[in-house]
């Protein structure tokens, strides 16, 4: 046991409600907890009525573990957790363009992201619009956000007419965040496919590791290259970053030109395995 939460009230129902609220606001990143399970138990109608016995968990295991049988109906316009994870990964990235509220005159274009949240992988595109908001698309639906404030531990964001706050902790390409009482574990896999291509085949696409300017394209279309060979150099933060091929094969497309400004995650070179 790493922690214990205790709530009191003038009666059992008040104490139960306070304990649910406390669990919803408890932040415990990087460790596995039974936080969601405890909230499911407290919200279950049998427990709420004071009718739980020693057989309560065994009798209602599926509802308590799955956790969706007694959840409230989804709020209209509330974005998926994967879309929110993509927004947080982008907004808290150390090399992302500095966040500013209000309208922007800067040119914008979609940024592809591959996000793993709670072991489920999602491919999305993020776009900063002229009004200062963000649009995230998963290919089937668009989710729109507006960021109100960011600090080292929390992001306050707008989703439709709803303004929410989520606590987060970031460590490299890993991110944990607390949203509506649930803790989510996230990994940024945008660059993972090229890195692991030699072992798993990959998609043969080399992506920009950060926002920056292309200072050198080191291969030509149709050229045979080896895994690990340098294909492009990007300048960012007054440093040059060499991008390498994840697989051996033939360069099938070069999607950038020297001097071009690119966004993190943009495909710069495509390789056909073989």
The secondary structure of the chain, three-state, reads: CCCCCCCCCCCHHHHHHHHHHHHHCCCCCCCCCCHHHHHHHHHCHHHHCCCCCCCHHHHCHHHHHHCCCCCCCCCCCCCCHHHHHHHHHHHCCCCCCCCCCCCCCCCCCCEEEEEEECCEEEEEEEEECCCCCEEEECCCCEEEEEEEEECCCEEEEEECCEEEEEEEEEECCEEEEEECCEEEEEEECCCHHHHCHHHHCCCCEEECCCCEEEEEECCCCCCEECCCCEEEEEEECCEEEEEECCCCEEEEEECCCCCCEECCCCEEEEEEEC
pLDDT at 203 over 80: no
Is 251 exposed, middle or buried (CB count within 10 Å of its CB: 0-12, 13-18, 19+)?
A: buried
The yes-or-no verdict on residue 219 having pLDDT over 90 is yes
Domain boundaries, the chain: 12-66, 81-188, 194-273
pLDDT at position 1, please? 61
State pTM to two decimals.
Answer: 0.56
Architecture of domain 81-188: 2-Layer Sandwich (3.30)
Q: Are both 81-188 and 194-273 of the same fold? A: no
Question: How close are the terminal C-alpha atoms of the chain, in Å?
Answer: 53
pLDDT reported for residue 131:
74
User: Whole-number mean pLDDT of the chain?
Assistant: 81
Q: Which fold has domain 194-273?
A: OB fold (Dihydrolipoamide Acetyltransferase, E2P) (2.40.50)
Dmax (CA) for the chain in angstroms is: 76
Local confidence band at 14 (pLDDT 50, 70, 90 cut-offs): very high
Question: Which pLDDT score, from 0 to 100, does residue 25 have?
Answer: 78
Q: Which two tokens stand for residue 11?
A: 């009666």
Q: Which pLDDT belongs to residue 62?
A: 79
pLDDT at position 211? 80
For 222-237, how does the pLDDT look when each residue is reduced to its tens digit (9 = 90+)?
Answer: 999 988 888 999 887 6
Residue 105: predicted pLDDT: 52
């Amino acid at each position: 046991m790493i922690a214990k939460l205790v709530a009191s009230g003038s009666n059992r129902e008040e104490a139960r409600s306070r304990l649910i609220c406390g669990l919803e606001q408890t932040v415990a990143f990087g460790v596995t907890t039974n936080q969601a399970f405890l909230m499911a138990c407290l919200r279950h109608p049998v427990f709420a009525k004071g009718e739980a016995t020693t057989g309560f968990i065994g009798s209602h295991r599926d509802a308590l573990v799955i956790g969706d049988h007694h959840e409230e109906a989804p709020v209209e316009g509330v974005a998926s957790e994967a879309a929110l994870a993509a927004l947080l990964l982008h907004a808290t990235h150390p090399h992302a363009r500095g966040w500013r509220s209000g309208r922007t005159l800067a040119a914008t274009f979609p940024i592809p992201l591959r996000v793993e949240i709670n072991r489920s992988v999602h491919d999305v595109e993020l776009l900063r619009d002229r009004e200062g908001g963000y649009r995230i698309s998963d290919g089937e639906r668009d989710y729109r956000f507006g960021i109100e404030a960011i600090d080292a531990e929390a992001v306050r964001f707008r989703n439709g007419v709803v303004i929410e706050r989520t606590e987060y902790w970031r460590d490299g390409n890993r991110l944990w965040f607390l949203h509506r009482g649930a803790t989510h574990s996230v990994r940024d896999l945008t660059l993972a496919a090229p890195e692991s291509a030699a072992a798993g085949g990959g998609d043969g696409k080399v992506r920009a590791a950060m926002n920056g300017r292309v200072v050198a394209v080191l291969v030509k279309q149709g050229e045979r290259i080896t895994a690990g060979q340098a294909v492009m150099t990007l300048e960012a933060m007054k440093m040059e970053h060499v991008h390498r091929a994840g697989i051996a094969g033939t360069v099938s497309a070069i999607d950038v030109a020297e001097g071009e400004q690119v966004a993190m995650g943009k495909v710069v070179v495509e390789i056909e395995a073989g």
